Amino acid sequence: MNTTTLINGEHKSDSILFNIQNQDGDLYQRLCDKKATIALVGLGYVGLPIALEFAKSFKVIGYDINSARVDMMKQGIDPSGELVASDFENKDIRFTSVAATLDHADVIVVAVPTPVSKDNSPNLTPLSKACAAIGVSIAKGNIVIFESTVYPGCTEEVCIPILEKVSGLSCNSDFWVGYSPERINPGDKVNTLTNITKIVSGSDEYAEREIYNIYNHIIDAGIHVAPSIKVAEAAKIVENTQRDVNIALMNELSGFFDKLDINTHEVLAAAGTKWNFLNFYPGLVGGHCIGVDPYYLIHKAKTIGMDLNVIGSSRNINDAMPARVVEQVKDAMKAQGKDLADAKVLVLGATFKENVTDLRNSKAAEMSQIFKAQVNQLDIVDPHADNEEMLAYYKLQLEDKIGYDYDAVIYAVNHDEFVNIDWEFIELIKSQKVVVFDFKKLLGYPTSKISDVEYITL
């Protein structure tokens, strides 16, 4: 059959495309036949699971600039701590930190970090460097797919120009580009790569079709084809911005209700009985996605002279939460006739969320830093976190064990290891009077057995 495909605004027949691509058929078919290779650039939380999933049936190159991480992966160890040794078994994958290996790739998927700089503006250095390395290697007929979270327009305004400049090739006639945002959730064993609907988009209909076929091969939940790269970029960032804004609303309300002596969780339990009430709760917003992505939108808006006020205010509210927690503990202690400066404080949890090892952008750790500057003794316990990383990122020491005589216990991250902490345990480790800050209301209100407790939830 001789169908047509839109390239650079012109319809070209599939038979012409066939020649542009390869005598052996389209890229997807060649991946299936192992006559083509797919490479992952950036093997972190996002890139490694995708690489291993593709490696169940395709020939895969896993490239990362960090050779220490690559050495671990060669031994079947996930440096991010999400995957187990068996996930590496029986996979057609070659791990490398040598960029020139990308010469052998026909499809290249990019999953490098897209953090923010100190001033919260997008830091596109890893993405630009990855594009430059790929530009050196790409050849006619290759497809480059971006998975890193970016603002709408970034792929076309930043990535494609670097690829074209370095390679001397042209997008949509020599090589093709796509964007497919990643939606995995670290620590989540239910919503995993293959059972989350995948959004795909392409620089033209040919790219869209190939990228659809490639992801459709591994995704069980189905593929949503976005009409353009910009739509796919915006969709991902809006998902996370929506969460950030909704959590900020709850954080603002909980600060307000606290002053009115109203328990926010009781309000939410009552309001949640309405069919269309959205279930969001107050909390700390850290990590590399929800607390970062809205800044990409804010930046993009600024470049066209717009301020995103709701999104900006939400970021400010959520970023101020660690300091607010410390103030609430200080006030509660004052009510007990105690001074935070004399206190021995225990913080349970340091990672950015429960059951992950990742300490980067952790609001729990940031809160511990604020406590450290104000208390007599601070003990931080986190069975998932690495002490060396904690020292490097936050200059804070982790304790192996929970001690005794605490004036305040801050239940910040609900790792599975902490589920057995109950009021009897608090009774055991507290000083005569204690402030308990129970972020997610896991302990529930103190039972009558326990006395001299100032209990706070967000």
Nearer to ligand NAD, 282 or 291 (CB): 291
Return d(Cα 229, Cα 214) in angstroms, integer.
17
Hey, how many other C-beta atoms are within 10 angstroms of the C-beta on 339?
14
* Rg, C-alpha atoms of the chain: 25
Q: By beta-carbon distance, which residue lies closest to ligand NAD?
A: 44
Can you read off the two tokens belonging to residue 447?
A: 């039972």
Return d(Cα 452, Cα 268) in angstroms, integer.
27
DSSP 189: S
State the residues that interact with ligand NAD by CB under 6 A: 41-47, 63-66, 69, 80, 111-114, 126, 129-130, 147-149, 182-186, 288-289
In whole angstroms, how close is the CB of 284 to ligand NAD at the nearest point? 16
In whole angstroms, how close is the CB of 12 to ligand NAD at the nearest point? 33
Return d(Cα 108, Cα 54) in angstroms, integer.
12
Nearer to ligand NAD, 45 or 54 (CB): 45
Distance of CA 290 to the CA centre of its chain: 7
Return d(Cα 98, Cα 65) in angstroms, integer.
8
DSSP 398: P
Nearer to ligand NAD, 123 or 336 (CB): 123
Q: Are 304 and 377 in contact (CB under 8 A)?
A: no
Q: Are 121 and 158 in contact (CB under 8 A)?
A: no
Return d(Cα 112, Cα 108) in angstroms, integer.
12
Selected catalytic residue, list 131, 159, 171, 289: 289
Distance of CA 323 to the CA centre of its chain: 23
289 is catalytic: yes
In whole angstroms, how close is the CB of 110 to ligand NAD at the nearest point? 8
In whole angstroms, how close is the CB of 311 to ligand NAD at the nearest point? 17
DSSP 159: I
In whole angstroms, how close is the CB of 320 to ligand NAD at the nearest point? 23
Whole-angstrom CA distances from 441 to 13, 299, 437 are: 61, 35, 9
Q: Are 164 and 157 in contact (CB under 8 A)?
A: no
In whole angstroms, how close is the CB of 179 to ligand NAD at the nearest point? 11
Nearer to ligand NAD, 128 or 216 (CB): 128
Return d(Cα 74, Cα 98) in angstroms, integer.
14
Which residue numbers are catalytic? 289
